[in-house]
Amino acid sequence: MLILKLGGAAITDKHKANTARSDYLRQIAALLAQHRQPLILVHGAGSFGHILAKNYGLAEGYQNPAQIPALAQLQRQLLDLNQAVMAALQEAGLPALAYQPSALCLLESGRIVEFYAEPLRRALTLGLLPVLYGDCVWDRARGFQILSGDQLVVYLANAFQAERAAFGTNVDGVLDSQGLLIPQLSLGDQIGQLESGAADVTGGMAGKLAELATLQTARAQIFNLNRLDQLEAVLTGGGPAGTLIQKPA
Ligand code: IP8
């Protein structure tokens, strides 16, 4: 099974609040439909969530009552983006089914400690395509907390013993301090400069690599989702795409 993240920076216009790249989502969906396989999709928030989350400190947990309407508004924005993703997938003929992470899981200090996986398991058994997303989720210690799609991908890869986890971003993969692609990386390696989008409350590339430290068995790949040839290579398993991440031996 493949757990695939559709990064928010690639599926939304990061410079325009609450704007999905719907035409591009349709092209992504067409490729997913062409290379059908056991799959769980997770999408990021991009311009639908990070700005509000940053303005109200939602990634720092509960601090003041002004955050409450912002939390509710954030969830609606995330549902709006999710609807755009679901429309593209279903129009391409995929039996996609949306799951709201805040209704399925619970965090403790920002980490998933409870996750009700059975509904996903049943959907997969019948050939459906579960779709989840980065969300604002209840947290036992902090009240609530932003849960990144990246943490979800790694959690799901471990829970479903997926063979592969792939992160579609807006860069070619992990880049070194000269901006050159690192084709293979062991998680123990020292990395120079890492890209992290300004409004990204969940840590950009550095956050991804930190999450990957908890990956148990799957092979991981970080690739450029703005390039359909790279997505195709990920889906077919043919040819290099982005950075391949290995666990240290
Ligand atoms: O875009 C964050 O998820 P991500 C979700 O995968 C938010 O980092 C900001 C609500």
Supply the pLDDT for residue 197: 46
The pLDDT tens digits of the residues spanning 75-106 come to 999 999 999 999 999 999 999 999 999 999 99
CB of residue 8 inside a 6 A radius of ligand 1: yes
Query: What mean pLDDT is predicted for residues 227-237?
Result: 95
pLDDT classification of 55: cutoffs 50, 70, 90: very high
CB of residue 44 inside a 6 A radius of ligand 1: yes
Q: How far is the CA of 51 from the centre of ligand 1 (A)?
A: 10
The pLDDT tens digits of the residues spanning 11-29 come to 999 889 999 999 999 999 9
Could you tell me the two tokens for 128?
Answer: 């459906």
Q: In 3D, which of 40, 205, 7, 233 has the Cα closest to residue 120?
A: 40
CB of residue 49 inside a 6 A radius of ligand 1: yes
CB of residue 211 inside a 6 A radius of ligand 1: no
Ligand 1 atom nearest residue 45's Cα: 1
> What does the alpha-carbon distance between residue 96 and residue 126 come to, in Å, rounded to a whole number?
12
Q: How far is the CA of 39 from the centre of ligand 1 (A)?
A: 20
Ligand 1 atom nearest residue 136's Cα: 10
Q: Where are the alpha helices (DSSP H) in 92-190?
A: 118-125, 149-159
The pLDDT tens digits of the residues spanning 176-199 come to 888 899 999 887 665 554 544 445
Helix axis angle, 22-34 to 228-236, nearest 10°: 30
Q: How far is the CA of 230 from the centre of ligand 1 (A)?
A: 22
Query: What mean pLDDT is predicted for residues 243-249?
Result: 80
Query: What mean pLDDT is predicted for residues 114-119?
Result: 98
CB of residue 202 inside a 6 A radius of ligand 1: yes
> What does the alpha-carbon distance between residue 43 and residue 165 come to, in Å, rounded to a whole number?
13
CB of residue 150 inside a 6 A radius of ligand 1: yes
Supply the pLDDT for residue 177: 86
The pLDDT tens digits of the residues spanning 205-222 come to 888 888 998 898 778 999
> What does the alpha-carbon distance between residue 232 and residue 28 come to, in Å, rounded to a whole number?
9
DSSP 190: -
CB of residue 201 inside a 6 A radius of ligand 1: yes
126 touches 74 (CB < 8 A): no
With a threshold of 0.85, does the pTM exceed it? yes
Whether pLDDT at 2 is above 60: yes
CB of residue 101 inside a 6 A radius of ligand 1: no
Distances (CA, A) of 6 to 43, 125, 150, 167: 5, 23, 10, 7
Q: Which residues of 164-193 are buried (b: 16+ CB within 10 A; e: fewer)?
A: bbbbbbbbbbbbeeeeeebeebebeeeeee
Q: How far is the CA of 36 from the centre of ligand 1 (A)?
A: 26
| Neighbour count for residue 5 (Cβ, 10 Å) | 29
CA-nearest residue, atom 5 of ligand 1:
134
Could you tell me the two tokens for 55?
Answer: 């303005």
